[in-house]
Structure 1
């Protein structure tokens, strides 16, 4: 009997030891899995920053028309997540001030370098960007931002044409399209008072430009 008791005790010890070993392996696996999860979370925070972290970018402070020469009142800063910032996003005001929008921008719209035609408007205070439509849309094919032109009214009869402005700087040129019934829109930099007169004249007169 003593021999059987010793044999039974030895078997129980082995079974107990086996269960303990299995529990140890299971605990080790769970610990390793938890450690991997914590490491992945730490890497995610390191790569993307803490929740809600953002970077400052420039957005339109109000609805802006095409050809607008941007000033301080037209832009403001807003923070957005770093992974949502597009290439070419403007980060500070000096990068936008004095530049001319190539297309309209809605209030709150993020501004990138692709939104502008030409580097800057005509520099200096008292300057403005005047829109004109050219009588011959194909003339606009020869215009680029920075080009200097004279703005003239087309003459219905010989000697009736007149020069509206001289040595105006081309700021932006409307993209080409199949619909040219109204002529292509061109923005030119002029002194404010003259810009208003030219823009008004182009509404009821046929306007073209001569190249310098």
Structure 2
């Protein structure tokens, strides 16, 4: 004769259900991602005007060349400004990369003069071989050579008209397209720091000869 199973106790069934619920709750808590920690201190920022695109030396700044940005205060270079209107119409003395703050030393004016050693002047020099100018960078030291015809004879003469001149600004590499394709931006114009006498010799040589440079140690 088959034995009859006794019905489960409601209390036992309730305990089993409660245990299953607790196990599921423990799994949910274990798999839940940890709550986000407290936010760190927010770095202080300062508004500053930056270049909206790569700009070559010799650019006359327009509103479209400039953009506003917020940079960390402790990383902000000196000489920056938040006044875009005050920069409009100014002439770049050196190339500026997109996103780079437009500081006073990148402009023709007092900022550029701050890099000129005492007793010297800033002298513009345009080289005969424009590609040579793109090899130079601010801070280089160069000797300037003038090549021309000495007197009525056709034999060329080369004269050193400046020695160890400090390069203040140099043009950017060649323009990639357009009518001026292949030419350095800014026309290959250098600005050198030299003595007043040397600046006079450079001006005289530029009127009668072609100029080039040799590089020395910066």
TM-score, normalised by the number of residues in structure 2: 0.43
**Which has the larger strand fraction?**
2
TM-score, normalised by the number of residues in structure 1: 0.44
